[in-house]
Structure 1
Amino acid sequence: MKAFEASRVAAGLPQRLRFPVPLVSGVIEKRPNRFVMECHLDGQQESVRCHVPVTGKVAGLSYKDMQGLQLPCLLSTPSNVANRKTQYTVEALALEPQGQVNTWYGINQSASTRYIGHFLSAGAIPEIVADAGQLVAERKVGKSTRIDFVYAQRDLIEVKTPLAAIPLHTSTNPLVQQMLHSRQSGKQSKGSHPSRLTRHLGVMVDELEQQRLILDSAAALDQGTSTSCGQQPRSILVQSYMYDAPAFRRPTTFPTSLIGLAVERARLAGVELWQVNMALDPEGVTLLKYFPIAEFGGAPVAQ
């Protein structure tokens, strides 16, 4: 599979987004509920309650699993901290022991969408957005579904950041290894409910088919021919990873699962799947690479 390296495709364009305030490092002590993690900040004696920007599991870890793992983390301080119950937001975690961190895994899915929006607007991914002036963030499509971006009043771009793909099994943290070993004979955790993704995919397929029908009808009336040579609408699902993830491959359970059926319908309808890898560190986010997933319909050409 050919990957479009950001350094080549976007030569001279911004591939780095710097944070206005550097992230703070610490260690996750526990996650008492879906909204809060208690973290111990470097240089401080007492732990602080931090906002968790993820309602579900992170890397497949339940609340109980996270107890005592001592995972290193990066925290941000929101500008509107006076109006919040927590002073920090957990942005990333590491699987190595404290002091030996080589890779940060971003977990803030809303921030991931913002980062993708930044790189699209900066012209760093021209195969998806060629003219940043025609990119609009978050539009309502259908009755009640919001899509992350609309390009040229035609193309739908939805960003998903799958946290279950974080490779927990590669952890060198002895506490994580011990937890995984104790899991082997236990029950496997259930995946997250796919209703939101299946709904988005359904809307993207419906909108794509509707736009094609409109274009074909207009062309038939004006010229008596189809629009096979014209500029066709696109629906693009971006799989965003805030680490250098391997190329996405459909799990073997896909064909019989609800999400698998939705993905297959989207693939057959022409929805494109692209993967974007970024690297997160205390100072900012770097665009590493991006590429279309070949098994999802091949590599689209730049517009």
Structure 2
Amino acid sequence: MNNMDIIFESQLVEGTIQKRKSQFTIIVEVDGVVVTCHCPTTGRIANIDLSGIQCLLSKSKDSTRKTPYTVEAISLNRPEDKDKSWIGINQNAVNRYVEYYLKNDGFADMIGTGNEVLREQVIGISKLDFLVGDIYLEVKTPLQQLQVHIPDYVKIKKSAPFSSTDRFVKHITQLADSLESHQRAILLTCFIYDNPGFQVIERSTRYEEVTEAVSYATDKGVEIWQANFKIIPAGVCLDKYFKLDL
């Protein structure tokens, strides 16, 4: 890792998931002890059965919290594999990563340098993630589908088609409308793993509505970019970012 990367105060701890107990909790074995951990994404993680999957955990500074750890990443490698590839699942943390690199000119090719970076800006009926200079920027971190090779030994569950698209449609439409008074607007699709380039693998139940909203936004001039972050026990780095043509 280099000087621009995000170094965790404490290294992440490796554990083995026993099961996902609820939307908000995952049962993990850590050093022989079974612990209830916070799950930072309420939705599904592809259709993977998390039982037996390796994970990385961050320890909470709040000693009174009911869940002392947060599951930051999972790995589809076997437990005995030494060099594991990690897939970050903490959607709440992504905005912190993006903010760090915005403020440290890590996205210079996308958004220039030296811009004022403001968080959670209200526009119309929405609250968008960032205003960078004169550019509104919204961050999305899809986890319903994973664009990675899923080994045969990983269990896959049957699940209903994804249908929760309201916030995405609202936000991308609001980005488009922001162009009436701003020169640029960006939807930044983020992955905490090496995603080759976002594709729709499985259509949602509201695919046509989403497609229409994306077409409306891109016709208005909304730019869609992708950022890949890499997570390891020591920290996070911005691996690459590029413009998408959807």
Say whether the fold is shared (TM-score over 0.5). yes
Equivalence for 1:166: 146
> For residues 138 and 83 of structure 1, do their structure 2 counterparts lie closer, same or farther at Cα, with a shift above 3 Å needed?
farther
1:190 deviates by 1.2
Equivalence for 1:17: 6
1:244 to 189, 194, 209: 194
For 1:271, give the aligned amino acid: V
* 1:282-301 map, 5 Å: 282-293=233-244, 295-296=245-246
> For residues 206 and 75 of structure 1, do their structure 2 counterparts lie closer, same or farther at Cα, with a shift above 3 Å needed?
same
Equivalence for 2:165: 194
1:205 deviates by 1.1
Larger Rg, first or second structure (1 or 2): 1
1:84 deviates by 1.8
Equivalence for 2:110: 128
> For residues 211 and 135 of structure 1, do their structure 2 counterparts lie closer, same or farther at Cα, with a shift above 3 Å needed?
same
More strand by share: 2
Query: Would you say 1:94 and 2:45 are equivalent positions?
Result: no
1:99 deviates by 2.3
Equivalence for 1:105: 87
- Secondary structure of 1:164 counterpart: coil
Query: Would you say 1:39 and 2:18 are equivalent positions?
Result: no
1:271 to 214, 222, 228: 222
> TM-score when scaled to structure 2?
0.90
1:207 deviates by 1.4
Q: Do the aligned residues in 2 keep the contact of 1:26 with 1:40 (CA within 8 Å)?
A: yes
More helix by share: 1
- Secondary structure of 1:265 counterpart: helix
1:132 deviates by 3.9
Q: Do the aligned residues in 2 keep the contact of 1:37 with 1:49 (CA within 8 Å)?
A: yes
The runs of 5 or more residues in structure 2 that have no matched partner are none
Equivalence for 1:203: 174
Q: Do the aligned residues in 1 keep the contact of 2:57 with 2:72 (CA within 8 Å)?
A: yes
Query: Would you say 1:261 and 2:212 are equivalent positions?
Result: yes
1:257 deviates by 2.2
1:17 deviates by 1.0
Equivalence for 1:222: none
Q: Do the aligned residues in 2 keep the contact of 1:120 with 1:132 (CA within 8 Å)?
A: no
- Structure 1 vs Structure 2 CA RMSD: 2.2
Q: Do the aligned residues in 2 keep the contact of 1:14 with 1:124 (CA within 8 Å)?
A: no
> For residues 279 and 47 of structure 1, do their structure 2 counterparts lie closer, same or farther at Cα, with a shift above 3 Å needed?
same
1:78 deviates by 2.2
- Secondary structure of 1:206 counterpart: helix
1:280 to 221, 227, 231: 231
Q: How many residues are paired up?
A: 243
